[in-house]
Structure 1
Amino acid sequence: MHQKILILDFGSQYTQLIARRVRENNVYCEIYPSDISSQFVRDFAPAGIILSGGPASVAEDKTPRAPQSVFELGVPVMGICYGMQTMAAQLGGAVENARVREFGYAEVQAQDQTTLLRDIHDRTDSAGKQVLDVWMSHGDNVTALPPGFEVMACNAATPLAAIADEKRKFYGMQFHPEVTHTLQGKAIIERFVHEICGAGHDWNMPDYMDEAIGRIRSEVGADEVILGLSGGVDSSVAAALIHRAIGKQLTCVFVDNGLLRQNEAEQVMDIFGRNLGVKVIHVDASAEFLKHLQGVADPETKRRVIGREFVEVFQREAAGIANAKWLAQGTIYPDVIESAGGKTKKAHTIKSHHNVGGLPDTLHLKLLEPLRELFKDEVRELGLALGLSHEMVFRHPFPGPGLGVRILGEVKREYAELLRRADAIFIEELRISGWYEKTSQAFAVFLPVKSVGVMGDGRTYDYVVALRAVQTEDFMTAHWAELPYTLLAKISNRIVNEVRGINRVVYDISGKPPATIEWE
């Protein structure tokens, strides 16, 4: 049994980052909606509780509140933004609409006497006060302290920027320690989970691997499992984990949907079939997929079509495996979040993922998702613990629908061929320059528009590709990678010269948010 932190979600866009920061400290945590029952909180038996931020106003009636047992369990509680406000209101303080709202960078003066912030600061100002650089996002303020609380940090706009009840180990912060813009945020969360909550360091990938293997063996028993192997990091790690657990009971089905990267099929069969000894069935279904995608331009419709075709292919293959009872997938936490399939069921659907949302009854298989609660970097840690190569584990993510969502609008075979070649050049040059390891995800996007160009003495009228490269810790937010101009120039020159049919290359400099990492 892991010591664990309970995170109650009030609807913040940053809630998943809180979980990520806790796990970075080798402490297990789970996220649940704020309206769970007091009995659930007691049964969860947390070492500590974190209350997330949220878009509502505590100053209004009928907005979310924490279960009362949160404050009666006798465990430490940390409230962030809305979480601090509801804690203050529920414990006898007051919250009002702020006269001066704060969104973005702010400075607060930190009091050194509390356990949470002791010796944690960014600098000392001219008056000898300790200063923290933080990230604010609030329109309400706590205006009166609950009984037993003291001020932990303040500034001119927010006199009660952080509060503490040391006796009960209750702490509240108006700023967000989970985001990287709060420079000491990691130190604050580390102090809370380890020193204040007393949690150890028992959440790590080698231990998780052993636990996951035990769960898979117990759940699957003597049944056969089939897994959709895409060649991406997630499905590859899932395959290696399940194979370690049940060996020959696993059959991987590698579907060539006509939307793979260059030489993908050969690489997958070489790594898994020949090197790892995994049973892999190679199915060339490219003609089927491309036929069903004819005339389909809407990105969500394309995802549904591709997902449906995957299911149909699996149905055929499963019929040939007599004892197949399970379909395994490499679903990970961000997939669930973006498809609004998390435990809270309150997130907006950003884009649907073909591997989230259950299976049709006609498939007659149960679902096995051993990575569903893991973030991408945890999946990579697990892959290394399983003995997969660094090159495979740190390969950039590839979407389940493949190039189908990197070809804008209708998918055609000729578009896929052009995109495959352009993308391969981009990735090759990133590897040669050393930038592949510096970026988290990089790829080319096919734009179904033509532009006029000139090559030699002739006019061209060819297609355009966009290059996308981002840097991120958790794929929930991302910054565009500032690739050197000389590198971009070399990549563009190679693509235009080597890929007949493309005469223009552009570079995407949008962050996430407001854009998503993929274009569709």
Structure 2
Amino acid sequence: MLGPEEFIKDAIQKIKEQLGDKKAIIGLSGGVDSSVCSVLVQEAIGDNLIAIFVDHGLLREGEVEEVTNTFKDRLNFNYVDASEEFLNALEGVEDPEEKRKIIGKVFIDVFEREAEKTDAKYLVQGTIAPHWIESKGKIKSHHNLALPSGMVLELVEPIRDLYKDEVREIGLLLDLPEKVVHRQPFPGPGLAVRVIGSLTPEKLDICRKANKIVTDEIEKAGIDKDVWQYFAVLTDSKVTGVKGDQRDFGYLVVLRIVDSVDAMTAYVPELPWKVIQTMSQRITSEISEVTHVALSISDKPPSTIEFA
């Protein structure tokens, strides 16, 4: 197994040999996997790599601005707003696997259109080992592996044999910002797998607001680097509550906070109870559609980190 510095040199050389002077595109999400891939490939082929940041309408609050500001001056950066296309394709879809497959297909459609504009021949992906291991084991499909058989772009996966902790180490050596390197993992399908059941603008708005509250409180408590992933899930269950002196019937939100090293296994750590209470109080008071908040205490396995 190569050390991180040797891996970088070896990966850059292999990318040069595979791509030569041809152009490539990469779907840049702003997460550590795609960010490391983007920098590695740019080191090899320069501006022949076009980093495409696709807004699929399923991002977290403030994510478009954050990713754009981080990479617009460092990479050959291209922002594409395809949110309407994604949300139209997902309308009425409830099954999480079907959501993932639809999102993967629409991503490829977007990438192939962008590739035609730039005459790109390759698609770079930030696939890492847990993605293809889980897909091969039929635990869940990953959108960046669900490529249609007619795809005309040739696939490049420079970090496919690495685990998340190894990717972070390489990201630091590539001088990526600390905030990017230690950014908590966010699924490619975005909030589509954190909203259980069919997607609507209202549900996405609720989930987005709840996730922002969870992030705010974890960071405020100073434990954001002590846990692997933290987020809120909007379930499709409604439960009775009381707001003011009136009976209410609103959504159940579940808090999911886990620790891990490589995402293959994960556990729920001991958490400051005051932080959990504050999250619950803020979510139910600031989001009128929510009446109940629960905490998931299941490890992986038998659960997965994401709910869907």
TM-score, scaled to structure 1:
0.58
Picking from 117, 125, 129, the partner of 1:329 is 125
Confirm whether residue 404 of structure 1 aligns to residue 183 of structure 2.
no
Task: Name the structure 2 match of 1:351.
Answer: 140
| Cα distance per residue 1:14-57 (max 9 Å; x no partner) | xxxxxxxxxxxxxx1xxxxxxxxxxxxxxxxxxxxxxxxxxxxx
2:85 to 264, 288, 296: 288
Larger radius of gyration: 1
User: Partner of 1:444 in structure 2?
Assistant: 232
Higher mean displacement: 263-272 or 348-357: 348-357
* Whole-angstrom distance in 2 between the partners of 1:501 and 1:231: 30
Distance in 2 of aligned mates of 1:405 and 1:252? 24
- Measured in 1, the distance between the counterparts of 2:263 and 2:251 equals 29
| Corresponding residue for residue 480 of structure 1 | 268
Shift in alpha-carbon separation, 1:281–1:420, aligned structure 2, 3 A: same
Question: Is residue 494 of structure 1 aligned with residue 282 of structure 2?
Answer: yes
- Whole-angstrom distance in 2 between the partners of 1:458 and 1:287: 37
CA distance in 1, matches of 2:261, 2:77: 32
Which residue in 2 is equivalent to 1:433?
221
Q: What secondary structure is seen at the aligned counterpart in 1 of 2:253?
A: strand
1:496 Cα shift?
1.4
Match of 1:252 in 2: 51
Structure 2 counterpart SS, 1:246 = helix
Mapped to 1, the partners of 2:288 and 2:244 lie a distance apart of 14
Unaligned runs of 5+ in 1: 1-27, 29-202, 341-347
Task: Give matches, 1:227-238, under 5 Å.
Answer: 227-238=26-37
Displacement of 1:363: 3.0
The answer for the alignment partner of 2:9 in structure 1 is 210
* Aligned-partner Cα distance in 2 for 1:369–1:417: 33
Aligned counterpart in structure 2 of residue 468 of structure 1, from 253, 256, 271:
256
Looking at structure 1, the residues matched to 298 and 212 of structure 2 have their Cα atoms a distance apart, in angstroms, of 22
Alignment match, 1:513: 301
Q: How far off its partner does 1:399 sit?
A: 0.7
Aligned equivalent of 1:304, options 79, 83, 101: 101
CA distance in 1 between partners of 2:148 and 2:141 (Å): 16
Cα RMSD, aligned residues only? 1.2
Q: Call closer, same or farther: CA 1:454–1:334 in 2, change over 3 Å.
A: same
Pair 1:338 & 2:153 matched: no
By percentage of residues, which structure has more helix? 2
Q: Separation in 1 of the partners of 2:293 and 2:43?
A: 44
Q: Secondary structure at the match of 2:60?
A: coil
The Cα of 1:254 is off from its aligned counterpart by 1.0
Q: Which residue of 2 aligns with 1:503?
A: 291
The Cα shift of 1:362 comes to 3.5
What displacement does 1:464 show?
1.5
Conserved? CA contact 2:252–2:292, under 8 Å: yes
For 2:47 and 2:261, the matched residues in 1 are separated by 35
The correspondence for 2:205, drawn from 377, 400, 417, is 417
Following superposition of structure 1 onto structure 2, how do residues 164-179 of structure 1 map, counting pairs within 5 Å? none
Q: How does 1:114-263 map to 2 (within 5 A)?
A: 203-263=2-62
Contact 2:196–2:235 (CA<8 Å) still a contact in 1? yes
2:150 aligned counterpart, secondary structure: helix
Counterpart contact for 2:112–2:153, Cα < 8 Å: no
Q: Report the CA distance between 1:223 and its aligned residue.
A: 0.4
Structure 2, unmatched stretches of 5+, are none
- 1:364 deviates by 1.4
Q: CA deviation at 1:452?
A: 1.5
| 8 Å Cα contact 2:100-2:142 kept in structure 1 | yes
Deviations 1:400-424 (A, max 9, x none): 1111111111111211111011101
What's the CA shift string for 1:335-391, capped at 9, x where partnerless?
Answer: 010000xxxxxxx3100111125x435331110110101011000011001001111
Given that residues 250 and 289 in structure 2 are in contact (C-alpha distance below 8 angstroms), is that contact kept between their aligned partners in structure 1?
yes
Q: What is the distance in 1 between the residues matched to 2:265 and 2:185?
A: 15
**Contact 2:259–2:267, Cα closer than 8 Å, also in 1:** yes
Which residue identity is paired with 2:300?
A: K
Contact 2:22–2:121 (CA under 8 A) maintained in structure 1: yes
Do the aligned residues in 1 keep the contact of 2:60 with 2:212 (CA within 8 Å)?
yes
Larger RCO (CA within 8 A; separation ≥ 6): 2
Instruction: Calculate the TM-score normalised by the size of structure 2.
Output: 0.97
The separation in 2 between residues aligned to 1:482 and 1:447, in whole angstroms, is 24
Measure, in 1, the Cα distance between the counterparts of 2:149 and 2:254.
40
Structure with more strand by fraction: 1
How far apart, CA to CA, are the structure 2 residues paired with 1:400 and 1:212?
A: 23
Name the CA distance, whole Å, in 1 between partners of 2:205 and 2:269.
Answer: 26
Code of the residue aligned with 1:353 in structure 2: it is H
Q: Do 2:258 and 2:268's aligned partners in 1 also have CA atoms closer than 8 Å?
A: yes
C-alpha contact 2:105 2:148 (8 A) present in aligned 1: no
Among 459, 470, 495, which residue is 2:247 paired with?
459
**One-letter amino acid of the counterpart of residue 372, structure 1:** R
AA paired with 2:83? Answer: S
Render the CA deviation track for 1:44-84: whole Å, top value 9, x for unaligned.
Answer: xxxxxxxxxxxxxxxxxxxxxxxxxxxxxxxxxxxxxxxxx
